[in-house]
Structure 1
Amino acid sequence: MDGHNYRQNNTIQYCFPDNNASCEKETKESLEYILLCFILSCVSVCTVFLNLLVIISISHFKQLHTPTNLLILSLAVADFLLGLIMPVDIMQLMDSCWYLGIIACYMSPIISFVAMYGSLWCLTLIAVDRYIAITDPLHYSRRITVQKTLLSVILGWCFYLCYTILYLYFNDYFFQPQLSTQCYGECFLAIKYYWVIIDLVVAFIAPCSVIIILYSSIFKVARHQAKSIRVVNNRISNKNGTKMLGSSEIKAAKKLGTVVFVYLACWIPYYLSSVSVDNLTSSSVVWNILGWLLDFNSSVNPLIYSIFYSWFKASLKYIVTCRIFESSSSRFNLLIEH
């Protein structure tokens, strides 16, 4: 039942009945909204759970303390934070009121934006890491170290934290009492159009260009290596009557292709719609729908980067069976098959 029906039936409900300045409550009780909130709740739970498994796995097992896995850990932390913020968005979807207070209203977009940008930064660093690993494998261990990777992650998160504060500052987010001059119990963000363009460049075009260029180069190298392996296999097959399997590069290329596809599929609609209107507000339907599409990417990331890896499957067994509580569990060999 929407606000118009409340007025017709003279049963107007307020977010805070004891406050004369309270906003009117617009509770959405239709079956469609209930079903939507149920689906989004499942996405939120899966996002938190899957990324938490990745965080525990990489943090606990010393064998996984590598530069690449450190980037995956940072990505999982960013996506984990986004998963924790999702219930707040679900609450506002079902009930237009904001019950968490002014401080939470200030902090919610900061956490959400920093985590979202942090996720993008990690995706970019992973592309750089894989590019160097495939194109210059002999010098990879010297060029990419845990210390350098950790420094890159920290600098990226600090940059996007400062960027988020400036983003909100210049959109007058910190100067609005209750973030709304209309009534008490409302929390929304209005984005100025020139900041939409700035954000398009900083948070999408720049990292997206780097990712596409690097992955394109990776595809070329993987294709070249696959051809070379086929030539070697054919020679061995002609001599011994057997054929060696050399498809690891092809599988890696396909996996990277999945990463690029999911990344673009989730982000392109958001930024295309953002530049098509003069003013965006967090209360708009388009903002919410496309925002949930970005959150969906956070639940897919651990599937792409972790579940397809054998070490994650091995660590999952130890976590589920509670063997990680053994004193020597941090030294378990997760790559025994290799």
Structure 2
Amino acid sequence: MKTMIAALVATVSLSAGVMAQELAFDRARDNTPVLYFSGVQSELAGGATEVLVLGTPHLNGMRDEIPLADLALLLNRLEAFAPDLIAIESAALFNCDIVRRYAEIYEGVANRYCTDPTPALAGLDLDPVAARIALYETLRNLPDTLEPAQRRRLAALFYATDDANSAALQWMHLAPDERVEGDGVNADLVQRLNQRLGSHNETVSIAAVLGERLGHQRLHPMDDRMSQIAYVFSGEALSPTLREMWQQNPVGMGPIRQALAETLGSPEAVLAYYRELNSAALQRGTVDSDFGPAAQNTANDNITRHYLAWWQARGLHMAGNVMSAAAAEPGARILVIVGASHKSYFEAYLDQMHDIELVDLDTVLHD
């Protein structure tokens, strides 16, 4: 399967022009960083923190191509990696609080990327600040074994603090007859959590399912939606300029992604698909067909550089949030589940840390 897909990618790449010259990056001797931090510090207390970055399509848009049952082999390989922490592409920390508070600046961001915490806040009879304080106090004092009532309350606290995916993980830990009202969970929240368990979103179908298998108590949201501030002065010209740039670019990834999707249809095919999606060739193609051209485009006063700035700022914040999550567990194994276009940037950012050792995904997802 892997060989077949590799041949397919090569064929479609040639027809689409993807094998055109790669974008060049100048490396002038007099403007390099004073120090390079790539790699892992040789003397490191507690050992390196191992990070595996899984680039993924957004599975909500691939319900027909990738049924939940076809994730079985992928989940088995990730379970064997046995991460201690799982980081997900979901709004982190106080992101939703801020984009709601400044809705006139972050227009539409909260509605698109944040769940409504109102049902959980009502069930807990707490305001957002009190709910967040209660969550951290609870997490600092978690017992080794949680009773159903404790899990229900923890699910409500996570949902109330804009972490619906960790709430779903706690709900998964409960037996079906324990997924009931009480302990801060009202009827509205029961319905929302039950519905979320069937989500195709990779934050649930991969991350929460894997977290439940491994006995994790939470997921770690890392996405940064405050980076949308990069667009505040972009005006209406950015979107049409980007569309025109993508249409004119001869290095198009759409045909390759479509060809890969057509190979799906079994757990084995899904595993091969993920290996190819995370390959150096496809990662290079993403840069050469999207963010590289955005850096080069001169239309409308170089406005596509706004898009590039947003992408890079968002990625840097996400990498920083992973480092914050890693702080409490030096030497842990971390699985980062992120949109495939982020993978190459994410690995480059994390490789600059003193104590991060990147794990080869293809080795983990071996046949």
The alignment's TM-score, normalised by the length of structure 1, stands at 0.28
Higher RCO, 1 vs 2 (CA within 8 Å, ≥6 residues apart): 2
Higher strand share: 2
Higher helix share: 1
The alignment's TM-score, normalised by the length of structure 2, stands at 0.27
